Amino acid sequence: METLKDIGAGTLNSVADALSRRHVLLATLQNNVVGFDLVKELYQDDPDFQGVWEATINQPFHQFYRHDGFLFRGKTLYIPQGSLREAIIWEAYDGGLAGYFRRDKTINLVKENFYWPQLEQDVNRHMQRCRICHLAKSKGQNTGLYMPLPIPKAP
């Protein structure tokens, strides 16, 4: 019978190991997002990073580099302009079982795997347009004259 030393403790913790790998992120996105490979074509015409895309043809440029045709900034995938940015914010903020996090939590969730300029502004704009959040916030204030409590006559 094999022991943990024979198998290797790292092989048993495959989920934590997979979270630290970029190729797993790409494989997951390609399986879950229809047409995700089309993102590769958007890099060439993206107004934010067209110059960076051209500079990373053969070698990394500052913090940017290419991997499997995708542009990365450090460990985060760069998302070009388009509806995919809004879909990512929606999934981090509205989607899932524990949705509607606060602003900072949502920004941190998105920044774990993705990058684009003005990410914080896009998250703020999404939160300001959220209909459910506006309905949940109270519009009236419970203000008025305070009424004193009656004085007890017995203990």
Task: State phi, psi for 102 to the nearest 5 degrees.
Answer: -75, 175
Predicted TM-score (pTM) of this structure: 0.63
Does 95 reside within a domain?
yes
Q: Where are the alpha helices (DSSP H) in the chain?
A: 4-7, 9-12, 14-19, 22-32, 39-42, 50-55, 83-93, 103-111, 119-128, 131-136
pLDDT tens for each residue of 66-118: 888 888 888 888 888 888 888 888 888 776 655 677 888 888 888 888 888 89
Does 58 reside within a domain?
no
Dist. CA 149–CA 146, nearest whole Å: 9
Does 1 reside within a domain?
no
Does 124 reside within a domain?
yes
Say how many domains are in the chain. Answer: 1
Does 15 reside within a domain?
no
> Can you say whether residue 105 is alpha, beta or left, with left for phi > 0 and alpha for psi between -120 and 50 degrees?
alpha
Number of other residues whose CB lies within 10 A of the CB of residue 51:
11
Q: Which residue range(s) make up the domain with 91?
A: 82-132
Does 121 reside within a domain?
yes
Does 110 reside within a domain?
yes
